[in-house]
């Protein structure tokens, strides 16, 4: 905190005027005066219109669009307690996402920083970030994922076996499936039983604490999130110590990180590659958090878009029926079939474009730099508006149409950011694609489905999901 802010804080508290302090803190930094935009009301800024647009069907697009028309592609605002510069366009994404020479770092909310811990991949930058990425790259590569295929396939079939002739909440079902998959991959959790239940309930509390108010007071969602995180860490501690004592050997993600961590396990590897227990736990939790809601949301949106676009569903079903027809031996889906579903891959990309599950990417300037003719100062929050990039009519004509054929040809760089780009591009994208391909295969060859209500509202959480959890009636084909 700057000295002047500290003095103001002390004076305000002493004078019993915390409100004056809040007013003081929500004043615009002087250097921001050159950036166009409105900061809204004192203290709350433009948070209310941001939140209300955020949970509308078109998401923050409304908020962005009205301001982009008034102020241009770069504008400032004060939302959710932060002075923020919003930007859009391929040029801005190139600069912010490639983040050359340590220009920017990831900008997590305070709640996320506290829950995930300081050694999380999301809180590291530079060399430390590169090192962690190297460690998780191999188990998340297509080859590294092959050993989990059987489990993913079995879970998808078992989930869908329950659907015939029933009303289901698609989002809840997708969530159970993706959590079983990631729990198994990461720490060989059995798909049912007490451990799975504990894991599931703690994870849900952690997940909902991210979008909570940052008050660590007993009874608040944030406080419950921290407690659930501690229980999850206790679970991990006992698993790690069992593994270390040789009681339990599993071929999972945790094991591959422990092997890298244990002294003497890899003599040739330099000590740089060893992770502490804290790093292990923070990063296991990070993968869970980053990988679960996103994949759940993608699966749910995909089902919704398919139902709303029958010709796309027909063509997709055709691809999957053809896979079955081409099978020479065996009756079940194989690893090589999953890796050869060209139309399904385009449907997934189009889903990520239309839904834009992560509507903005948040960064913090690590140094002063120039962008679109504006001087950005070290420490500023910078938000890249991905929704506008994904709905730019020059790149995606008729942008609201769900049309997977847009991905027939190669797109211009930085125009599609479903999994991000640059050094922070999603390391879990192969896993997400495999989970979705397997699930969709079994879904479309067996069932048709209809939504039980017409509601396009979106949950006001960081990851965009249908608010009503997409209730559907499922019938066999
Ligand atoms: C359809 C599902 C998914 C989508 C749409 C998605 C999307 C993204 C995007 C857009 C980013 C970049 C964000 C930014 O630049 O600010 C990202 C980063 C990340 N994703 Fe995913 N993701 C998905 C699944 C997964 C899975 C399954 C995992 C892990 C098992 C995962 C782990 C991560 C991690 C750890 C990061 C941060 C990387 C870093 O900061 O270096 N994601 N994801």
* Cβ of 125 below 6 Å from ligand 1: no
Mean pLDDT split into 10-residue runs, the chain, 477 residues: 52 52 53 77 77 74 85 84 85 87 83 88 89 88 93 97 96 95 90 87 87 80 91 90 79 81 52 76 92 96 98 98 88 94 98 95 90 84 92 94 96 95 95 98 98 88 91 97
Separation CA 313–CA 303 (nearest Å): 9
Max CA distance (Å), the chain: 81
The two three-digit tokens of residue 468, written as one number: 């009503």
Closest CA to 41 of 60, 22, 59: 22
pLDDT for the residue 179: 93
Q: Distance, CA 289 to ligand 1 centroid (Å)?
A: 9
Q: Is 12 annotated as a binding residue?
A: no
Q: Which residue has the tokens 């079940």?
A: 332
* Cβ of 117 below 6 Å from ligand 1: no
HSE at residue 139, side-chain half, CA atoms within 13 A, is 21
pLDDT for the residue 447: 97
How far does the chain reach from its first CA to its final CA, in angstroms? Answer: 63
What backbone phi and psi angles, to 5 degrees, belong to 79?
Answer: -130, 145
Specify the pairing of strand 82-87 against strand 381-385: parallel
Extents of the domains making up the chain: 119-356+424-476
Classify 466 in phi/psi space as left (phi over 0), alpha (psi -120 to 50) or beta. Answer: beta
In eight-state DSSP terms, residue 412 is P
Q: Distance, CA 7 to ligand 1 centroid (Å)?
A: 41
The two three-digit tokens of residue 415, written as one number: 């125009």
Q: Distance, CA 64 to ligand 1 centroid (Å)?
A: 23
Closest CA to 74 of 30, 32, 28, 25: 32
Asked if 155 and 181 count as a contact pair (C-beta separation under 8 A), the reply is yes
* Cβ of 418 below 6 Å from ligand 1: yes
Residue nearest to atom 27 of ligand 1 (CA): 291
Ligand 1, pocket-test mutation among 135, 171, 426, 439, most atoms within 8 A of CB: 426
Residue nearest to atom 19 of ligand 1 (CA): 426
HSE at residue 455, side-chain half, CA atoms within 13 A, is 14
Residue nearest to atom 17 of ligand 1 (CA): 426
Residue 451 β-bridge partners: 472
pLDDT for the residue 420: 96
Separation CA 295–CA 358 (nearest Å): 11
Closest CA to 311 of 391, 405, 411, 441: 405
Separation CA 173–CA 171 (nearest Å): 5
Cα radius of gyration rounded to whole Å, the chain: 23
- Give pTM, 2 decimals: 0.89
Please identify, by atom number, the ligand 1 atom nearest to the C-alpha of residue 185.
Answer: 30
pLDDT for the residue 145: 94
- Considering the domain delimited by 119-356+424-476, tell me its CATH architecture: Orthogonal Bundle (1.10)
pLDDT for the residue 12: 47
* Cβ of 294 below 6 Å from ligand 1: yes
Residue 399: CB atoms within 10 Å: 16
pLDDT for the residue 63: 85
pLDDT for the residue 149: 96
Asked if 56 and 62 count as a contact pair (C-beta separation under 8 A), the reply is yes
Residue nearest to atom 39 of ligand 1 (CA): 424
pLDDT for the residue 216: 79
Q: Distance, CA 413 to ligand 1 centroid (Å)?
A: 18
Residue nearest to atom 16 of ligand 1 (CA): 361
Q: Distance, CA 470 to ligand 1 centroid (Å)?
A: 23
pLDDT for the residue 246: 77
What backbone phi and psi angles, to 5 degrees, belong to 458?
Answer: -120, 145
């Amino acid at each position: 905190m700057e000295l002047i802010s500290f003095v103001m804080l002390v004076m305000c508290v002493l004078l019993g005027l915390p409100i004056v302090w809040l007013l003081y803190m929500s004043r615009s930094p002087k250097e921001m005066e050159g950036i166009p935009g409105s900061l809204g009301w004192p203290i709350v800024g433009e948070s209310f219109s941001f939140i209300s647009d955020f949970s509308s069907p078109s998401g923050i697009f409304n908020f962005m669009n009205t301001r982009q028309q008034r102020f241009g592609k770069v504008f400032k605002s004060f939302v959710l307690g932060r002075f923020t510069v919003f930007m859009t366009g391929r040029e801005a994404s190139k600069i912010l996402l490639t983040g050359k020479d340590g220009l920017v770092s990831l900008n997590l909310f305070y709640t996320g920083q506290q829950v995930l811990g300081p050694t999380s991949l999301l809180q590291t930058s530079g060399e430390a970030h590169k090192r962690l990425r190297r460690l998780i790259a191999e188990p998340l590569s297509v080859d590294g994922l092959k050993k989990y295929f059987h489990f993913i396939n079995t879970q998808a079939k078992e989930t869908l076996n329950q659907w015939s002739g029933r009303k289901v909440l698609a989002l809840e079902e997708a969530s159970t499936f993706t959590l079983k998959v990631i729990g198994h991959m990461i720490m060989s959790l059995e798909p049912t039983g007490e451990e799975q239940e504990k894991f599931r309930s703690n994870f849900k509390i952690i997940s909902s604490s991210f979008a909570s108010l940052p008050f660590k007071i007993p009874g608040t969602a944030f406080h419950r999130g921290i407690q659930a995180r501690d229980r999850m860490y206790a679970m991990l501690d006992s698993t790690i110590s069992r593994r270390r004592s040789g009681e339990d050997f599993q071929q999972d993600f945790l094991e591959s990180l422990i092997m890298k961590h244990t002294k003497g396990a890899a003599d040739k590897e330099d000590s740089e590659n060893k992770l502490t227990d804290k790093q292990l736990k923070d990063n296991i939790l990070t993968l869970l958090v980053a990988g679960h809601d996103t994949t759940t949301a993608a699966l749910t949106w995909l089902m919704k878009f398919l139902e709303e676009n029958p010709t796309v569903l027909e063509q997709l079903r055709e691809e999957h029926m053809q896979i079955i027809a081409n099978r020479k031996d065996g009756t079940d889906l194989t690893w090589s079939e999953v890796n050869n579903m060209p139309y399904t891959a385009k449907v997934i990309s189009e889903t990520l474009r239309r839904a834009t599950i992560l509507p903005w990417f948040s960064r913090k300037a690590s140094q002063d730099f120039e962008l679109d003719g504006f001087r950005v100062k070290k420490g500023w929050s910078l938000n890249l508006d991905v929704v506008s990039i994904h709905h730019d009519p020059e790149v995606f004509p008729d942008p609201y149409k769900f049309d997977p054929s847009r991905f027939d040809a190669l797109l211009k760089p930085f125009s599609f950011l479903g999994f991000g780009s640059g050094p922070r591009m999603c390391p879990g994208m192969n896993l997400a694609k495999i989970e979705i391909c397997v699930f969709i295969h079994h879904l479309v060859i067996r069932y048709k489905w209809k939504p039980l209500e017409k509601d396009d509202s979106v949950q006001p959480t960081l990851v965009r999901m249908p608010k009503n959890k997409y209730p559907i009636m499922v019938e066999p084909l």
